[in-house]
Amino acid sequence: MIKTSTKQEQAKEHQQIEEDTGSQQDELYYEDLKQELNGLIKEPSFESVKKILSYSRTK
C-alpha cells in the first residue's frame, strides 16, 4: 500500500528540514566569524575589521 501524506504532514516535514539546515548554517556562520575574530586578534588589520562588520544575518 502506498502511503500518501497530507499537506499538513508535508509542511511539517519541510519545516523540520528548514530548521535543520538553518541551524547548520548558523553553526557555519558562527564558526567563520570566530575564525575571523581569532585572526584579527593575532594580526589586526583594517580589512579584517571591515569583513567582520560586514557580516549580516538574514532570516
pLDDT digits (tens, 9 = 90+) for 32-50: 888 888 887 787 778 877 7
Please, what is the average pLDDT of the chain? Answer: 74
**12-42 b/e with 16+ CB inside 10 Å = b?**
eeeeeeeeeeeeeeeeeeeeeeeeeeeeeee
pLDDT at 9: 78
Q: Is residue 18 predicted with pLDDT exceeding 70?
A: no
pTM of the shown model: 0.41
Alpha carbons 42 and 14: distance in angstroms, whole number: 42
Of the chain, the percentage scoring pLDDT greater than 90 comes to 0
The cell numbers describing 30, all together, are 558562527
